[in-house]
Amino acid sequence: MSGRNRGRGSGVGGGDGGGRGRAQPRTGLPSPAVQGRGRGRGGAGPAPTQAPPPTVSQPPVVSHSPPPSQAPSSSTTRTEVSSLSQDVESKLSMQTSPSPVQPMTVLPSSSKSLRPPARPGYGTIGRKCIVRANHFLVDVANKDLHHYDVTITPEVASKKVCRDIISELIASYRESHLGKLWPAYDGRKSLFTAGKLPFISKDFVVKLVDKYDQTRREREFKVAIKFAAKADIHHLQEFLRGRQFDAPQETVQVLDVVFRSTPSTIYTVVGRSFFSPILGEVGDLGDGLQYWKGFYQSLRPTQMGLSLNIDMSARAFYEPILVSDFVAKYFNVRDLTRPLSDQDRIKVKRALKGIRVELTHREDGKRYKISGVSAQPTSQLTFARDDTDAKISVIQYFRERYHINLKFAFLPALQAGSDLKPVYLPMELCKIVEGQRYSKKLNEKQVTALLRATCQRPFERVQSISRMVERNNYNNDKFVNEFGLRVKTELTSIDARVLPAPMLKYQGTQEVPRVGCWNMIDKKMVNGGKVEFWTCVSFSRLRQNEVFKFCENLVDMCRNKGMDFNLMPLIPIRLAHPAQIERTLVEIHTQSNVQLTSIGKADEQLQMLIIILPEVTGSYGRIKRVCETELGIISQCCQPKQAMKCNKQYLENVSLKINVKAGGRNTVLANALEKKIPFLTDLPTIIFGADVTHPQPGEDSSPSIAAVVASMDWPEATKYRGLVSAQPHREEIIQDLYKTSLNAKNEIVHGGMIRDMLISFRRSTGQKPCRIIFYRDGVSEGQFNQVLLYEMDAIRKACVSLEADYLPRVTFVVVQKRHHTRLFPAEHGDRNSTDRSGNILPGTVVETKICHPTQFDFYLCSHAGIQGTSRPTHYHVLYDENKFTADALQMLTNNLCYTYARCTRSVSVVPPAYYAHLAAFRARYYIEGETLEAGSSSGGGRGAGQATRERSLEVQPLPQIKDNVKAVMFYC
């Protein structure tokens, strides 16, 4: 833990704590010393190395000047820190005298919108270079864009069918009624034209053979087209020139629909990507799945103008095979010879629910959408024939009607229709319709196969992208030409800079990493943690001597790297069967407490449990749930293969994880210790990371998991405390940043993650944060405004709940990894501009051309590539009261990427955001069992799905992580 500032001053002139600050109004025990922002009255400490930045004026905000230093008036409303005990409350009171600095801005909770800050200029630090990006410049003609509403009657749910209807309408009426225009259609409710249609409103009749309907008969549709609005192309052009601050999203969306019109009619559409067997090889993923290759396409406004982002993509699809064959592949058996267990039947139901199948025994190939799987084997199923009470078995029906003897009658039948009127379909007579994407979670083997299929070295990816652009032939596309668009066919060349790597501090030495990597040979952790009470349990098939040898080598490694690690375990190392995981962990916990009591250490606890996992996967989540939420055991899991090898590199990596779980630090930024990092070390600064993870697609009952981590040391910013919470299904906004409740006396109790972290930071450092840097992961552009409004409001309320007028300056940065921008070296093979994998160098930053025309954003590739093409991370500043310069934020973010605790490499995402993702992912293990139970209920009709969603609205809280676990980086 960092040392507390023990000077007596605590006012604005406290400096390093050496002088007397102005006396504080007291609510309990005296507050710890707080570094001042500059010299105040009586301040003896030196001024900060960097002047505090002025407050950003961002509409709509309300400025509040801090009152002069005096006792609060009786009208001042104070809120008590009621989430902690009275003793802790008095010790950790956030009350200090107001600082005579520029007025702070307060975000009103009633704000309807906030504008992200304008770009503060461009960075200059780093070596200049040229990179290329998979963005293609689009020239836009000054055309009149018209928007028309489309209503199809009867209503059609399938976008594919809607496109077929409109395509038929255009083919039938373009010459006679549509003014010979080529309208672009979005697949739902909107039609766009370059020029006016010769009517304001008109109804059309379209006849279509709907091959996706069960009847497959010719159907008649009424299509009403009505003028809605005119898109402003001039506004877009002004925005691209930087003369308008707000992007005309409607106009960009119109042009995006234009570019998607042709591929949407040719390929299978998944989000913004297009897939087809003709776009590349089709590969086997196992378990009845295959991958198709395709391309991603998106139109974006950028500094250079409209940009078409093209990237290669691959996606898992169902194999178009008989369902009986799919089941055999799914369970990895050559022949189906026995009935399915209830557990296997539920797995099949989950895998097949919602997919379309066509019947092979009928000439018309009638299609059905699967709603479930029968609870009984096909041989036991009967149904009422011809709306009479007379029952007939499914086996008898197919024998009499189609002369088919079912071979797999012991399998359950597929169920279509509703629960009230089910339609039973034998698996062996149903073929999966081609082109249906698999949206559920892939297993580890499938993920590896899919990554291998898409893994391309940078020069290979450039070639593939260029070929795809050539294949798409945009400049000869009838829709693109109709709207006056032209696409440059060359990748965009961009001026970039390579930021220098930071100096890393170890115990007694320091090092500057080369190309994003370094090693710990002859180095010790800068702060080694202490592990006095530990033991080990193996659930693997390793022999006792192999387990003993592994523990001995691991303890030696921890000691060699600077940890104070007891050579002897607290209780004997043991071997246990994987079927007895929970019982074994409880026994270890009990035996440890008994042993500690016997040696006079009853107030201590087991500090580290080393666990060798079973060879069969699936137990990790249970182990972590029991250890962290039930027993309060900090654990380190190890793979049995690696434990048997005792590889030195593996032991070193494990020791890094153990050290941070023991409260140590592996390395810190040398400039942080010297207080030379702008916007971090000049004032007490807390860095947050936040993320929300959602359940896998198709899972309607699981909650989303929000995680927040925050730095607990200053100025180092390397230790991060983590908190997690459950929230409604697929809710992206973090609900528990700030919350209130009523206690038994009907008094308001303030709580929430932000408040908890601010109190913990004060307790850990002795400082009150004067600055907040909030890295928010997992937010898409469409959610920017909503997330910013809610979460900034929560941050403000959490601060003020601790102390009136406590308003630390906040910088809110969105971290985006899920994008398709790729950066390539200008010259492939140039050793001065590429790493060993052929990727651009770590530290490469791009802030021109492909970035936002007016707002503060940049792409940073902070890591060295290992295989494939590196993906840079996109950082977009949504709020900034600290007035970061481009250099300051880019350098801080890049430097932090070298402090990731789990390896000796710089990482691709700023560690606070990375840690938040790990913490959220860990918390998903805590409810994994509940999730499996929730998804195992039988029945699959519309009513069942609706009930599931209704149940999911009642979010069950996560199991509480024990306090001793929360105090360390348990998620590492």
pLDDT digits (tens, 9 = 90+) for 413-462: 999 988 888 899 999 999 999 999 999 889 889 999 999 888 999 999 99
pLDDT of res. 277: 97
Where residue 218 falls among pLDDT bands split at 50, 70, 90? confident
Beta bridge partners of 229: 147
Per-residue pLDDT at 104 exceeds 50: no
Compute the average pLDDT of residues 121-133.
98
| Two tokens, residue 604 | 């201590």
Beta bridge partners of 727: 704
641 to 542, 580, 612, 638, 647: CA distances (angstroms): 9, 21, 9, 9, 10
Per-residue pLDDT at 213 exceeds 70: no
Same domain, 796 and 866: yes
Where residue 87 falls among pLDDT bands split at 50, 70, 90? very low
For Cα atoms 822, 825, 828, give the angle at the middle one, nearest 5 degrees: 120
Coil vs helix vs strand at 725: strand
What are the tens digits of pLDDT across the range 599-614?
999 999 999 999 999 9
CATH number of the domain at 590, please: 3.40.50.2300
CATH number of the domain at 422, please: 2.170.260.10
Compute the average pLDDT of residues 791-815.
97
Compute the average pLDDT of residues 183-193.
97
Per-residue pLDDT at 493 exceeds 70: yes
Where residue 210 falls among pLDDT bands split at 50, 70, 90? low
pLDDT of res. 460: 97
Task: Determine the Cα–Cα distance for residues 135 and 487; give it in Å rounded to an integer.
Answer: 10
pLDDT of res. 190: 98
Coil vs helix vs strand at 874: strand
Where residue 393 falls among pLDDT bands split at 50, 70, 90? very high
Same domain, 863 and 825: yes
Same domain, 576 and 610: yes
User: Going by C-beta distance under 8 Å and a sequence separation of 6 or more, which residues neighbour residue 277?
Assistant: 292
What are the tens digits of pLDDT across the range 665-697?
999 999 999 999 999 999 999 999 999 999 887
Same domain, 459 and 402: no
Structural domain of 230 = 138-318+447-490
Same domain, 678 and 803: yes
**Residue 878 backbone dihedrals phi, psi, to 5 degrees:** -100, -20
Q: Assess contact for 359 and 204: CB atoms under 8 A.
A: no
pLDDT of res. 214: 54
Query: Is 623 inside a domain boundary?
Result: yes
Query: Is 903 inside a domain boundary?
Result: yes
Same domain, 923 and 845: yes
Same domain, 264 and 343: no
Poorest-pLDDT segment among 42-46, 358-362, 636-640, 739-743: 42-46
CATH number of the domain at 824, please: 3.30.420.10
Compute the average pLDDT of residues 258-270.
97
Query: Is 35 inside a domain boundary?
Result: no
Between 953 and 783, the more confident residue is: 783
| Two tokens, residue 409 | 């009658």
Give the pTM. 0.85
pLDDT > 90 fraction of the chain, expressed in percent and rounded: 76
Per-residue pLDDT at 14 exceeds 60: no
Number of domain units in the chain:
4
CA-wise closest residue to 235 among 227, 225, 245: 245
The rounded Cα 81 to chain-centroid distance in angstroms is 32
Between 105 and 631, the more confident residue is: 631
CA-wise closest residue to 971 among 909, 917, 899: 917
Task: Determine the Cα–Cα distance for residues 730 and 123; give it in Å rounded to an integer.
Answer: 37
| Two tokens, residue 53 | 């930045």
Query: Is 939 inside a domain boundary?
Result: no
Same domain, 607 and 746: no
Same domain, 619 and 758: no
Coil vs helix vs strand at 656: helix
Query: Is 907 inside a domain boundary?
Result: yes
Q: Assess contact for 502 and 512: CB atoms under 8 A.
A: yes
Compute the average pLDDT of residues 813-821.
98
Per-residue pLDDT at 82 exceeds 80: no
User: Where does a domain end: 433, 458, 479?
Assistant: 433
Same domain, 291 and 162: yes
What are the tens digits of pLDDT across the range 245-257?
787 889 999 999 9
Same domain, 692 and 601: no
What are the tens digits of pLDDT across the range 895-944?
999 999 999 999 999 999 999 999 999 999 998 744 433 333 333 333 33
pLDDT of res. 389: 73
Query: Is 482 inside a domain boundary?
Result: yes
Per-residue pLDDT at 701 exceeds 90: no
Could you give the angle at which helices 233-240 and 249-266 cross, rounded to 10 degrees? 100
pLDDT > 70 fraction of the chain, expressed in percent and rounded: 85
Per-residue pLDDT at 110 exceeds 60: no
- What does the DSSP 8-state code read for residue 103? P
Same domain, 572 and 716: no
Please state, rounded to an integer, the average pLDDT across all residues of the chain: 87
pLDDT of res. 133: 99
Query: Is 478 inside a domain boundary?
Result: yes
Coil vs helix vs strand at 415: strand
What are the tens digits of pLDDT across the range 567-625?
999 999 999 999 999 999 999 999 999 999 999 999 999 999 999 999 998 899 999 99
Per-residue pLDDT at 380 exceeds 90: yes
Query: Is 716 inside a domain boundary?
Result: yes
10 to 35, 37, 47, 241: CA distances (angstroms): 7, 11, 14, 50
Task: Determine the Cα–Cα distance for residues 596 and 810; give it in Å rounded to an integer.
Answer: 45
Q: Assess contact for 310 and 465: CB atoms under 8 A.
A: yes
pLDDT of res. 830: 85
40 to 10, 22, 100, 105, 351: CA distances (angstroms): 11, 9, 8, 22, 67
